Chain A
Amino acid sequence: MSTLPETARIPAGAAPVRVAAAPATASTADVPVEAEEVAFDIRNFSMWYGQRQALQEITIKISARKVTAIIGPSGCGKSTFLRSLNRMHDLTPGTRLEGTLRHFGNDLYGPGIDATAVRRRVGMVFQKSNPFPTMSIADNVLVGLRLNGMRDRSVLQERLEQSLRMAALWDEVKDLLNRPGTSLSGGQQQRLCIARSLAVQPDTLLMDEPCSALDPIATAKIEDLIQTLREKYTVVIVTHNMQQAARCSDRTAFFYMGRLIEFDNTRKIFTNPSNPQTEAYVSGRFG
């Protein structure tokens, strides 16, 4: 858990957050603290599916090498938000966005930006594990490197082991590397997908409810894994499970109806939230 001092609450910075009747203006304490490197600097970010607005003027700074959890009731825009962080919406016809979204200072939606290059740095793990069905375990891990032109066998071999070790899967599969990826158990498949993402050496990992299809033991393994990942990676994880957010994140953002309601240190969100809606949600009174 974060050891950062809890600082006094200051209204959100430059963001001219529209003050609607309800829900109220996002309350974001002054996280991240000054010294922290910012991975995502997002300002007034709105998104539409056709006519339907799914995100409303989100302003948030997500720190590098921290675990940030996104919580909120179904349909509040968690996945939509996460998928805009690596431009996964590019392929959905009819999507439109406004505002700015910077990743380590670079505008992700700036003119001429190559979404493929963005995704190489910002990886994603999905709700349902999805190893490629025609590929072996090893091929699954290495496909990203291979298709981006890496031919050096020693590098591939090294990256294979390194990625599987980081995903805490090496010991379980080191003798089965040529078996199909789909022959693994659900939890192993999800860790294989994490290894696959790590193999292309991103600096940020997005996870959209990565444990919602897993049993408690497999979930615990993934949560342990997230703890080790935060040393090197910026992790943004969407979760339905409040205990999970409380257990494994440093910061928590509460979304409701397409708005960011509150963003603060996880401990604060779960023990002493500023916003009554956050309080109602984390105490299980709705959602």
Chain B
Amino acid sequence: MDASPYLPSPRFARWRRWKSGAITGILVACALAVIAPLFLVIYFLLVRGYSSLDWSFFTQLPKPTGEVGGGMANAIVGTLTLLAMATVVGVPFGVFGGIYLAEYGSDRANDWIRFAADVLNGVPSIVWGMVVYLILVVPFKTFSAYAGGVALGLMMVPLVMRTTEEVLVLVPQSYREAALALGIARWKVIMVIVVRTALKGIGTGVIVALARIAGETAPLLFTALGNNFWNHNLKEPISALPLQIFAYSISPYDDWHRQAWAGALVLMALILALNITVRVLSRDRQSTL
């Protein structure tokens, strides 16, 4: 029987299999190279940090210099407080800015705003710290939780603004038209119907921004400053995980080094949790839009 014309010669088939195998191998290696750092980070944090992670780490204040033990309870609460304040500052400006870009702005104005947002996204975080230091720390003559929250919040604005714009643009025009055809005023159509349709996407954008800023250290150095005790007044300095990690890592004490690793592990877990929330939220994004 004649060989089928669709059947390659055995030699060619072997060469092709070899080629296919080689390409697959290269691609797998690249993919591993991309995710390997994540596993390295998690591996080292677990090895170094997990052993120092005990109950007191979550419940106690730092011990005075040189003493063994204590924890980062105030820094954990401080980070959560700062994130909450950053949300209060960053979300309204970011969301309304995004609404303006998607629904109102002229092409020319939008080009400028987007350009500005992209530049702001690239402003080094320490510069945010310096600017807020001048605006909120110098005039009030004190480092404060407020200043830290504002510094982080300002960093959130361009992030939230761009993602809000992106999800609003995805809301089909047909919903806007249907709502307008009911005799609903345009601003209500946008604020109630369009934004509501995109709410999950906007929420996702906010969490992504929170994950981005949760670990920021530089903007807090000249604003929130850090605090070895509980913060009872937002007008006073507040502790935060990244600040505490920084302070402990540059100290000469072994016990503090161990605690710095534990703090890094907790911070990383927080950021990972935020990212997982995003994944879960955006899993059925299709149904929202």
Q: Write the residues of chain A forming the contact surface with B, with a CB cutoff of 8 angstroms.
A: 86, 88, 91, 116-121, 123-124, 126, 128, 130, 132-134, 143-144, 147-148, 193, 196-197, 200, 202
Contacts and interface: CB of A to CB of B under 8 A. Distances in A.
Contacts of A126: 174, 177-178, 181
Contact of A133 (B177, B179, B197): B197
A88 B181 CA distance: 7
A193 B179 CA distance: 11
A134 B197 contact: yes
B235 to A, nearest CB: 40
20 contacts: A91-B180, A91-B186, A116-B180, A116-B185, A119-B182, A119-B183, A120-B183, A123-B181, A123-B183, A124-B181, A126-B174, A130-B172, A130-B175, A132-B175, A132-B179, A143-B179, A143-B193, A147-B184, A196-B182, A202-B183
Given A116-B180, A124-B178, 8 more contacts: A118-B183, A120-B183, A123-B181, A123-B182, A132-B197, A134-B196, A197-B182, A202-B183
B192 interface: yes
Contacts of B192: 147
A159 B181 CA distance: 18
Contacts of A148: 183-184
Query: Which of B174, B177, B178 has its CB near the most chain A CB atoms (within 10 A)?
Result: B178
A119 B181 contact: yes
Nearest to A118: B183
A202 B181 CA distance: 10
A144 B184 contact: yes
A88 B180 contact: yes
Query: Which of A143, A193, A196 has its CB near the most chain B CB atoms (within 10 A)?
Result: A143
Q: Chain B contact residues (Cβ within 8 angstroms of A): what range?
A: 20 to 34
A43 B219 CA distance: 65
Contacts of B186: 91, 116
Given A126-B174, A143-B193, A147-B188, A134 B199 contact: yes
B185 A132 contact: no
Interface in B237-289: 287-289
Contacts of B197: 132-134
Contacts of A144: 182-184
A119 B178 CA distance: 11
Interface string B177-221: 111111111101000110011010000000000000000000000
